[in-house]
Chains A and B, each alone.
Chain A
Amino acid sequence: MINFVLLFSRQGKVRLTKWYSPYSQKERSKVIRELSGAILSRGPKLCKFVEWRGCKVVYRRYASLYFCMCIDSEDNELEILEIIHYFVEILDRYFGSVCELDLIFNFHKAYYILDEILIAGELQESSKKTIARLIAAQDALVETAKEQANSISNVIAQATK
């Protein structure tokens, strides 16, 4: 299973963290510190796996962002590389050529997408189309709720004028 997902920038700034195994706050910051150090120092030609505390961390770099997933030692590292790429493709399709800024300002949306891909550290869907459809449907729900709220407040505003 995937123990956690970690996104950080070339500068070591955390952009997204998702924990599927219990780690205390203290451990979390330690993990992030250790791993970003270990991964950022690796050259581009080296393999994308780092052995760490009995687990394996699989990472992939996209522009200035590093996507890392920590898996158990018996899991399939090559598949995780594909899952990372799959996640990035969905983000890309959702934001329209995604960049780091999209993930900073719309971090919650990135989390929503991740929640449609992984639950309990396991993959839940292999179709990008299905995920896009589910996210769009939920976003639409939010929009209609907003519109309703706006129209209600307009009505109230009109009435109280």
Chain B
Amino acid sequence: MNPFSSGTRLRDMIRAIRACKTAAEERAVVRKECAAIRAAISENDQDYRHRNLAKLMFIHMLGYPTHFGQMECLKLIASADFPEKRIGYLGLMLLLDERQEVLMLVTNSLKQDLNHSNQFIVGLALCALGNICSAEMARDLAPEVERLLQSRDPNIKKKAALCSIRIIRKVPDLAENFMGPAAGLLKEKHHGVLIAGVQLCTDLCKASTEALQYLRKNCTDGSIRILRDVSNSPYAPEYDISGITDPFLHIRVLKLMRMLGQGDADASEYMNDILAQVATKTESNKNAGNAILYECVETIMGIEATSGLRVLAINILGRFLSNRDNNIRYVALNMLMKAFTVDPQAVQRHRSTILECVKDSDASIRKRALELVYLLVNETNVQPLTKELIDYLEVSEQEFKEDLTAKICSIIEKYSPDKLWYIDQMLKVLSEAGNYVKDDVWHALIVVVSNASDLQGYTVRSLYRALQSSPEQESLVRVAVWCIGEYGEMLVNNVGVLDGEEPITVTESDAVDVVEAALRHHSSDITTRAMSLISLLKLSSRFPPTTERIREIITHEKGSLLLELQQRSIEFHAIIQKHQNIKSSLLERMPVLDESTYVRKKVGSSDATFSADKTGQRVSAGTPVNIPNGVAKQQAAPLVDLLDLSSDDVPVASSSATDFLNDLLGVDLPSQSSSGVVSTGTTDLLMDLLSIGTSPVQNDLLAPDNHTSSVATSGKIPSVSSPPSVKGVALETKSPQAPGPSPVLDLLDGLSDMSFSDENPTFPSITAFQSNSLKITFTFTKQPGKPQVTQIKASFTNMSSNTYTDFLFQAAVPKFVQLHLDPASSNILSASGNGSITQTLSVTNTQHGQKALAMRIRIAYKVNNQDMLEQGQVNNFPQGL
């Protein structure tokens, strides 16, 4: 015998490990033992192989690696003796799992042992196979197991049945082979075999519909008989658990009956009587009895039971719910969730009890109850339920608040009967748990407030009050700051006081105080501070006397280390300092946000927009031009328009805003006198000629993009900025036509467009046509109040090196559009982009909002007295023309 490998006894090793005071000591002992075992393995020591494996199992349980011992299990299993096999199989099940390749090597030994004459060795092999077999092994050994199902020994039979469960879970195709033997098992008397057989049948029903049909036909009676026998059986000490004979068999048969009765009226009808008997006669003072009742209720709910039986089941759950035992209450709540789909009215009756469970001290019960309450809410009970939940929010534990807040917000958004109630409830939630409210929730609140013009005064006053009591709730602060910025004068002047609303006296400087507090508060993050800055800027226009103070506050932030804030404060400071005269029009109230698009957007991709939002913020931090856009909360489109206007086209005084802009910037816009040939209106002729009416409209190339960007911006108003606008602005400033904008100019551009965009939406200009020789851009303006009519200013640029003479532009439109062409500014187009011709088109879309514009164009001109003709189609009109 090798003196080095003998090592210590198992008992001594465990003692040594337990005696270790530190983890390091333990590691040292384990390392020493492992070294000894490795040495024994490499010397192929046989005498202590089983002891070494036992040691390895203990070491494995402590969490140390033991893979080197895996082959030892196989050797022990291959040995002839029972003790070796027993420990070998145990090691196999503990040290290996089904995903290890080594496992395949044991298939042959298993096969031999399954055919062994000793029932205990067969039992070991079945047990190992049932616990860890892989799909390949299942296929290889299924015939052996099938054969063992017919064994005379109940011990082998039951093990083979459970092993079959594992096999059909791994390889569902094999289910059909087991149907017959499984049905046969239900005729046994031995409880172990019955339990295993019933379970096998249940799993077969899950694995294949064919098996389900077979078993429904052949086992429904059998399962009913088993349940009747066991529930009527006299006292049997061997199977007795707290006065009930074999609750395990009860429960398993009930489970099988649920599978068989589901969706089958005939099978269900047979079961009615016995289920009623079990539901009424089972003792409910012990856990075992309750376990049976619980399973019975689930089966009644699962099958096509009579209504009387269902009432019985719901009543049992009612009793469970009022039980003092937390376990029973937990399962009752769990079960009521399932019962809700069957009988919502019956569940509603227990509403008050369920609501109490939301306040339970037990997290598992609270969670279940909250899920259930969420199901129970409907239009009629939303108000009292929400009140209860919000009241509870005040006292609930911190870790539960997040769940609870999310559920409450979801209920409020889904079922609010009117806006006032919605706003009230949201304010309550924000004041109680504003830090747990998700961003999309308070964004939605702002959209709603923006749309509810009669409630804005009330909202801003309520927010002001709420802010006094809970200044730490971040989302509340954000909403309040935004609303005070927008509706500050309603706060001070008590505009739109509702019935029963307490009057409140707030001075202008009070309003500035709260926003300043939000800006300065230590816990405010960058978004809140940025919003506070905007709010202050807006207030400086609402309350002129406070301007000086606001300027000081903003000046204070100019040294902020956060680029975002520094930039805002510097630019805002410039506005207050230098542009006092235009400030009021710059800082008008936000246009009403589009509620429906926001909701759609939110439902569509709330998560996606949020991540985009965040990256947008980060990107934007370094781009100077986008800041004003963030302030004005406007889409990129108007900005583009304005920049185009300031190019060297003919100035069109279409709206006062552009006038003011031109004056303001002092951009000298060269006007080209319109002298020259007037183009003739041959549109009618052209229309017939080109017959554009049914041409496919594909203007969703540019338009939807623009559209979504505006939606996104309005949806995320309070956010620092938005990516689409960044892009739009950046692109446009690079355009060669723009007169090299300075940051201040940009700032004003972004701000000023809000002064007229409310009632007069603007659209980005497009390049309608481009060839090697010619480029046509369209610029759009609409008259207020006439959405159907669009003025298009076409501008033609000669890209070639030859001058064009006799220039003539013609256009054709579909039948639902009326077109009027004004005379062109000239009929001579000078070469190489030097100067351009402009021409105004007036388009009336009679199906505005339903169909999009489309146009075909034809341009004729002469180069060196040679006739030239170009034509094309314009499909990229912005949406909404």
Binding site for B on A (CB under 8 A): 14-20, 22-25, 29, 43, 45-51, 76-79, 81-83, 86, 104-105, 107-108, 111-112, 115, 119-120, 122-130, 134, 137-138, 141-142, 145-146
Chain B's nearest CB lies how many Å from the CB of A88?
13
The answer to whether the Cβ of B439 comes within 8 Å of any Cβ in the partner chain is no
Give Cα A138 to B162, complex, Å.
20
B contacts with A, residue count (CB < 8 A) = 70
Q: Are A146 and B83 in contact (CB under 8 A)?
A: yes
The one of A17, A18, A47, A120 in contact with B364, judged by C-beta atoms closer than 8 angstroms, is A47
Known pairs A82-B248, A123-B199; list 18 more (Cβ under 8 Å).
A17-B61, A20-B131, A25-B65, A43-B361, A47-B329, A49-B327, A78-B331, A81-B291, A108-B54, A108-B90, A112-B86, A112-B90, A120-B131, A120-B162, A122-B196, A124-B195, A134-B155, A138-B120
Whether B97 contacts A23 by the Cβ 8 Å rule is: yes
What residues on A are CB-neighbors of B191 within 8 Å? 125-127
B575 within 8 A of A: no
List B contacts of A20 (CB < 8 A): 131
Contact B159 A105 (CB under 8 A): no
Contact A76 B82 (CB under 8 A): no
Residue B300 is within 8 A (CB to CB) of chain A in the complex: no
CA distance A129 to B252 in the complex (A): 20
A126, B248: Cβ atoms under 8 Å? yes
Interface residues of B in 88-113 (CB under 8 A from A): 90, 93-94, 97-99
- 7 closest pairs, A vs B, by CB? A78-B291, A47-B326, A119-B162, A119-B130, A120-B166, A125-B192, A120-B130
Query: Of all chain A residues, which has the CB nearest B192?
Result: A125
Binding site for A on B (CB under 8 A): 11, 14, 18, 54, 57-58, 61-63, 65, 81-83, 86-87, 90, 93-94, 97-99, 120, 123, 126-127, 130-131, 155, 158-159, 162-163, 165-166, 169, 191-192, 195-196, 199, 238-239, 241, 246-249, 251-252, 255, 287-288, 290-291, 294-295, 298, 326-331, 334, 361-365, 367
Number of A-B contacts (CB under 8 A): 159
* A105: B residues at CB distance < 8 A: 11, 14
**Are B86 and A129 in touch, CB under 8 angstroms?**
no
Contact A119–B131 (Cβ < 8 Å): yes
Shortest distance in angstroms between A129's beta carbon and chain B's nearest beta carbon?
Answer: 5
Contacting residues, chain B, for A77 (C-beta < 8 A): 327, 330-331, 334
Within the complex, which residue of A14, A15, A127 is in contact with B192, where a contact is CB–CB below 8 Å? Answer: A127
Q: Are B57 and A29 in contact (CB under 8 A)?
A: no
Cα distance, A104 to B251, chains bound together (Å) = 33
Which residue of A is nearest B326, CB measured?
A47
Give the chain B neighbours of A125 by CB distance below 8 A. Answer: 158, 191-192, 195
How far, in Å, is B249 (CB) from chain A's closest CB? Answer: 6
- A86-B241 CB under 8 A given contacts A47-B365, A123-B248: yes
Instruction: Choose one: A45, A46, A47, A145; the contact of B83 (CB below 8 Å).
Output: A145
A62 nearest CB across to chain B (Å): 15
In angstroms, Cα B331 to Cα A86, docked, is: 21
Which residues of the partner chain B approach A112 to less than 8 Å between Cβ atoms?
86, 90
Distance in angstroms between the alpha carbons of A126 and B230 in the assembled complex: 13
Contact A14 B61 (CB under 8 A): yes
Q: Shortest Cβ distance from B577 into chain A, in angstroms?
A: 59
- Across the interface, B127 reaches (CB within 8 A) one of A16, A47, A76, A115, namely A115
| Contact for A14 among B62, B196, B239, B298, CB less than 8 A | B62
In the complex, are the beta carbons of B162 and A122 less than 8 A apart? yes
Q: Which chain A residue lies CB-closest to B245?
A: A126
* Contact indicator B98/A22 (Cβ below 8 Å): yes
Closest to B119 in A: A137
Inside 8 A of A120's CB, which chain B residues have their CB?
Answer: 130-131, 162-163, 165-166, 169
Contacting residues, chain B, for A137 (C-beta < 8 A): 120
Question: Residue of B at shortest CB range from A29?
Answer: B63
What is the CB-to-nearest-CB distance from B168 to chain A, in angstroms, rounded to a whole number? Answer: 10
Instruction: Give chain A nearest CB distance to B131 CB in angstroms.
Output: 6
Q: Which of A19, A25, A142 contacts B82 (CB 8 A)?
A: A142
